[in-house]
Amino acid sequence: SASVTVLAVPSACVTLLAVPSTCVTLLAVPTSCVTLLAVPSTCVTLLTVPTSCVTVLTVPSACVTLQAVPTACVTLQAVPTACVTLLAVPSACVTLQAVPMACVTLLAVPTSCVTLLAMPTACVTLQAVPMARVTLLAVPSACVTLQAVPISCVTLQAVPSACVTLLAVPSARVTLQTVPSACVTLLAMPTACVTL
């Protein structure tokens, strides 16, 4: 039942290993490498961490929040029943791999590259992500929502029994490939190129 706070540590490398029932806060840690490994029932907050590489690995029942992390590389791997929020992360590369029953929210992430790989029964929301490239690969039983994503390239590949909603996506190119028994909704998309 520990509460861990790392505040204003320049050029730091932070590792949290096997810390049960922990609340972890990293605040103003420039040029840091942050690793969370095998931390069950965790609440993790990263706030204003520039030029960082953040890895969350095998964290069951975790709630992870990344806020205002410029030029960051974020990797979430094997995080079951997780709630992941990325807020205002410019120039970010985000990878979510093998995250079952996850709820993922990306909000206001400009010039980002987002990859979701092998996420069953996932709920994915992308909101106000300009100039983004979004890839969803092999996501069964997924519900995907893209809202207000200008000049974006969106690819959905091999997503069975999916419900896909694209709302207010100007100048977008959308590709849906091999999506059996899918429900696709395209609403208010000017100058869009849509391929099914």
What's residue 71's pLDDT?
A: 85
Whether 35 and 80 map to the same domain: the answer is yes
Question: Which of 41, 68, 89 finishes a domain?
Answer: 89
Whether 83 and 23 map to the same domain: the answer is yes
Whether 152 and 70 map to the same domain: the answer is no
Number of domains into which the chain is organized: 2
In a domain, residue 108? The reply is no
In a domain, residue 107? The reply is no
In a domain, residue 104? The reply is no
Whether 1 and 84 map to the same domain: the answer is yes
In a domain, residue 157? The reply is yes
In a domain, residue 100? The reply is no
- pLDDT 10s digit of each residue in the chain, 196 long? 567 777 778 788 888 887 778 888 888 888 888 888 888 888 888 888 888 888 888 888 888 888 888 888 888 888 888 888 888 888 888 888 888 888 888 888 888 888 888 888 888 888 888 888 888 888 888 888 888 888 888 888 888 888 888 888 888 888 888 888 888 888 877 777 788 7
Whether 10 and 82 map to the same domain: the answer is yes
Say how far apart CA 35 and CA 15 lie, in whole Å: 5
- Backbone CA torsion sign across 94, 77, 36, 33: negative
Whether 78 and 141 map to the same domain: the answer is no
Q: Which two tokens stand for residue 31?
A: 């040029």
Report the SS3 class of residue 38: coil
Whether 76 and 138 map to the same domain: the answer is no
Say how far apart CA 30 and CA 25 lie, in whole Å: 14
In a domain, residue 36? The reply is yes
In a domain, residue 113? The reply is no
What's residue 1's pLDDT?
A: 52
Is the pTM here over 0.75, yes or no? yes
In a domain, residue 19? The reply is yes
> Residues 140-178, buried b or exposed e (16+ Cβ, 10 A)?
eebbbbbbbbbebebbbeebeebebebeebeebbbebee
Whether 170 and 128 map to the same domain: the answer is yes
Domain limits at 129? Answer: 122-196
What's residue 66's pLDDT?
A: 86
Whether 67 and 144 map to the same domain: the answer is no
